[in-house]
Amino acid sequence: MTDTAAIAEAFSRTAEKYDAFGEEHPHLLRLRSKVYAHLDQLLKPGSRILELNAGSGTDAVELARRGYRVHATDIAPGMLARAREKVQTLGLSDKVTVQECSFTELDRVTGAPFDAVFSNLGGLNCVPDLEPVVQQLPRLVAPGGYVTCVIMPPVCLWEMADVFRGRFRVAFRRFSRKGTIARLEGLRFTVHYFSPSRVESAFGPQYRRVALEGLSVLTPTAESKDFAKRHTSLYRLLCRLDDAVSGRARWSGWGDFYILSFRYEPGDRRR
């Protein structure tokens, strides 16, 4: 089974668990809220967003509630089934459309150009090379539009701290040049980690970086559901520290993720 097929099947199988995991998860809610605030700084109400790896539609419906129109795409049928159910239940069919489509086959997407292309929480980390994705974007994003990616970097301080617990494989798994094998619902696929400079190189000179901020630099990873509940005071302190450093140059490309936004400016721009 190819990685693409394994990813589609694995995330389809875990769709219900994925939504359940996100319930009463204060830290994941914080991460998503910071991503939405980032987008709100760039986009006008009513903007049309093409969402890649939309999963079960959590982001799509929230962005629709905020006044955007979203075309949500994903490769996992099970995830998209839940997304369609949410859209129908919440009465958002006029603001959210759903399409089964890989971000390696964006020529199938209709409705372009969009005001923004958006990928959240590491979906793009499932490919070894970002350039085949980037090469499809000029048809999809309007000149002056934005591309916002939430990507997992090689440096995650929270994971690296596992070295003190003797968990060396977890502590340094992001440093592997060949990627790391992920296991989900009995299936295996490779996850790759990209530094901001590597992503900028893949996008090239037509995409001007307008914002970069670390996401969960000093707070736990998104997998840590109970930390915020069990250690309330410590978690609040870490959040304040995280907010203070996440936008600084030496920290902004670190964390469980980082948010990187480009403005599409076609033409003969040179670095």
- Peptide bond preceding 266 in cis form (omega within 30 of 0): no
Structure tokens given for 143: 């000149």
Distance between CA atoms of residues 27 and 224, nearest Å: 8
Other C-beta atoms lying within 10 Å of the C-beta of residue 37:
10
Instruction: Specify the CATH number for 3-264; select among 3.40.50.300, 3.40.50.150, 3.40.50.1100, 1.10.10.10.
Output: 3.40.50.150
Rounded to the nearest angstrom, the gap between the alpha carbon of residue 177 and the centroid of all alpha carbons in its chain is 21
Other C-beta atoms lying within 10 Å of the C-beta of residue 81:
16
Full DSSP string of 150-161? EE--S--HHHHG
Q: What is the pLDDT of residue 87?
A: 98
Handedness of CA 196, 202, 205, 211 (dihedral sign): negative
Q: What is the pLDDT of residue 1?
A: 57
Could you read off the pLDDT tens digit of each residue along the chain, which spans 271 residues? 568 999 999 999 999 999 999 999 999 999 999 999 999 999 999 999 999 999 999 999 999 999 999 999 999 999 999 999 999 999 999 999 999 999 999 999 989 999 999 999 999 999 999 999 999 999 999 999 999 999 999 999 999 999 999 999 999 999 998 999 999 999 999 999 999 999 999 999 999 999 999 999 999 999 999 999 999 999 999 999 999 999 999 899 999 999 999 999 997 554 4
Q: What is the pLDDT of residue 194?
A: 98
Q: What is the pLDDT of residue 271?
A: 43
